[in-house]
């Protein structure tokens, strides 16, 4: 989403994780997605770093400039999500991966972070003000995953502001995957109508390996190696 918002042009490559391409393995020792290979050969293989790479080049919507707080405050909140919330999210989603894991205990621990977000939304429509910023875009996909594990449990929880915030995020995904952003596929090149086309030829030496159920949100005018969600297959 940050690449889309920044209008960066890159080569998009579909990655099937059970059959990883040699280029991905050669680019990053972790051999999983996302991975971005810059035109100078520099490899960026962390989601947040890729977001910052894109937005530091062009940030037309001010995602790195929150209305409330500073960039460091947003990064601290994202770190809380990555280091505190996400391990419990994984334990909740996949309790069978670890012997003796208690999925409900992980859900209780993860809920502490969600309650914190709900309290933050008392002050504004988004986490850092009235408009979206980096923190919203970095955290919302994981909250979305949590809500989908057991919607019957999630829906009645007393996080009304959080649910409105999440619904707005989900609504933006539906819009981008619907009529407004139909994908045009030409070989491996995928151009989304309505996206801003920066001048000049496509830079094919900039590659972005990607796998996410949120791929439908991208409206980049790029070529891109990715793992397409089922809705595109």
Residues contacting 149, CB < 8 A, separation 6+: 92, 93, 107
pLDDT tens readout for residues 15-73? 777 788 788 888 888 877 788 888 788 888 888 998 999 999 999 999 999 999 999 99
Instruction: Give the pLDDT score at 188.
Output: 31
> Cα(140)–Cα(124) distance, rounded to whole angstroms?
16
Instruction: Pick the closest to residue 122 from 154, 159, 153 (CA basis).
Output: 159
* pTM over 0.85, yes/no: no
* Lowest pLDDT segment from 2-16, 43-57, 79-93, 151-165: 2-16
Residue 179: count of CB within 10 angstroms of its CB: 6
pLDDT tens readout for residues 175-231? 444 323 222 222 333 333 334 434 333 333 344 554 433 333 333 333 334 443 443
What would the 3-class secondary structure string for 6-72 be? HCCCCEEEECCHHHCCHHHHHHCCCCCCCEEECCCCCEECCHHHHHHHHHHHCCCCCCCCCCCCCHH
Residue 199: count of CB within 10 angstroms of its CB: 4
CB distance 5 to 55 below 8 Å: yes
Instruction: Give the pLDDT score at 19.
Output: 81
Asked whether the CA dihedral 138, 194, 61, 5 is positive or negative, the reply is positive
What architecture is the 2-232 domain classified under in CATH? Up-down Bundle (1.20)
- What are residue 129's DSSP bridge partners? 126
> Cα(217)–Cα(177) distance, rounded to whole angstroms?
7
Instruction: Give the pLDDT score at 209.
Output: 52
pLDDT of 6 > 80? The answer is yes
- Tokens 């993860």 belong to 110
Instruction: Give the pLDDT score at 191.
Output: 36
Q: End-to-end distance of the chain based on CA atoms, in angstroms? A: 21
Q: Give the SS3 label for residue 124.
A: coil
Distances (CA, A) of 109 to 74, 79, 116, 139: 21, 16, 12, 16
């Amino acid at each position: 989403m940050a690449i889309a918002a920044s209008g960066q042009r890159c080569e998009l490559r579909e990655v099937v994780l059970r059959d990883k391409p040699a280029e991905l393995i050669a680019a990053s020792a972790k051999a999983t997605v996302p991975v971005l290979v810059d035109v100078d050969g520099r490899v960026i293989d962390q989601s947040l770093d890729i977001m910052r790479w894109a937005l530091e080049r062009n940030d037309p919507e001010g995602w790195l400039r929150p209305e409330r707080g500073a960039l460091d405050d947003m990064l601290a909140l994202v770190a809380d999500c990555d280091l505190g919330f996400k391990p419990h999210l994984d334990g909740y989603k996949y309790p069978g991966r670890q012997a003796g894991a208690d999925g409900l205990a992980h859900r209780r621990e993860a809920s502490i972070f969600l309650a914190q977000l709900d309290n933050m939304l008392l002050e504004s429509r988004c986490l850092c003000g009235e408009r979206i910023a980096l923190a919203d875009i970095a955290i919302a996909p994981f909250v979305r995953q949590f809500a989908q594990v057991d919607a019957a449990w999630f829906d009645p929880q007393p996080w009304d502001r959080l649910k409105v915030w999440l619904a707005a995020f989900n609504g933006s995904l539906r819009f981008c995957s619907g009529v407004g952003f139909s994908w045009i596929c030409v070989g491996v090149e995928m151009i989304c109508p309505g996206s801003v086309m920066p001048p000049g030829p496509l830079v094919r030496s900039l590659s972005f390996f990607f796998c996410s159920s949120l791929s439908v949100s991208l409206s980049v005018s790029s070529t891109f190696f990715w793992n397409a969600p089922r809705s595109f297959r």
